Amino acid sequence: MNPIEIKFGGYQAPESIHTQAAKRFGRRLLDQLGDRVRFELVPSVLDLGHPSGALVPMVERGEFTCCYMSTVRFSERVPECRIFELPFVVRDRRRAWAALDGEFGTLLKQRIQATTGCRALGFWDNGFRHLTNKVRPIRRPEDCRGLRIRTQMTPLHGETFRALGFEPIAADIKDFVAQIAGDRFEAQDNPLTNIYTFGVHEFHRYITLTGHLWGASVFACNQSQYAGWPADVRDAVESAAAEATALQRELAEAEDANALARFDPARNEIIRLTKAEHAAFVAAVRPVREKYRGGLDPKLLAYLNA
């Protein structure tokens, strides 16, 4: 009998915490199923010329079996995912994990399965996002005025940054990485691990620890392939996914301190906001948050204590 082929696609470097978790998933599958399964990991589809946004459609078509992808890419079909696009909603990542492992996560899994060709095997920690730029230190919303900022592929993020005074430009991470050294963007936002892994710190001197967004990634699997596997294979996949998710979150929690330690003080200025400075950012984007939170079930916000 031919082995079951499980091909996992990502969009980050081999040393990234997402790739490490994907490797753990593959190792555990092989431990449990041996030669009944063949596991292949493609760490970054960017290296193959694909944008990161191609991953979910590729999983839906069966070109990949699994991938991880920001909930941003699911929010059009699963509006409940938009909660993670609202600024300063998540303040405690462990509370977010508990919500994603509980009723809220069950709801998202059901909605993803009902509206896409994917099955969610878990939710990974995409980190707190911070601002970087190549022009000046940012301590107040006024410092953002007029800077061109690369944003994720969601109009809601554009509204948030426009409220701060930025000029937002949405771009896939593939285009962002190719253009970060040029003049198209003067600023961007990412978790610290991505700022380091994608080499943003080599071109952006100023790193402001705003923590304005916390992101979750869906650990997605092709729904049809999953349904066609024997029960014990599905059990092994779920078990390996749970272990990979636990590892990914553990690494994500430790990564902020690890990434900060890697930045060279001679090349990068880390800007830690005072409480008053942080409050000014929260106040500046409050109209955006209030505009969209009204369209969300209050129960969803209660899961996150938002």
pLDDT of residue 28: 97
- 3-state SS assignment for residue 223: helix
Residues written for the chain: 306
pLDDT of residue 75: 92
- 3-state SS assignment for residue 79: helix
pTM greater than the 0.85 cutoff:
yes
Strands 167-170 and 148-151: parallel
Strands 66-70 and 4-9: parallel
Q: Which residue has the tokens 């992101």?
A: 215
pLDDT of residue 299: 85
Q: What is the largest CA-CA distance in the chain?
A: 65
230-240 burial code (b ≥16 CB/10 A, e <16): eeebeebbeeb
pLDDT of residue 119: 98
| One pLDDT digit (tens) per residue for the chain, 306 residues | 789 999 999 999 898 999 999 999 999 999 999 999 999 999 999 999 999 999 999 999 999 999 999 999 999 999 999 999 999 999 999 999 999 999 999 999 999 999 999 999 999 999 999 999 999 999 999 999 999 999 988 888 999 999 999 999 999 888 888 898 999 999 999 999 999 999 999 999 999 999 999 999 999 999 999 999 999 999 999 999 999 999 999 999 999 899 999 999 999 999 999 999 999 999 999 999 888 887 888 888 888 876
Domains delineated in the chain: 4-295 (3.40.190.170)
Helix H or strand E encompassing 119? strand 118-133
Q: Residues 23, 34: contact at Cβ < 8 Å?
A: no
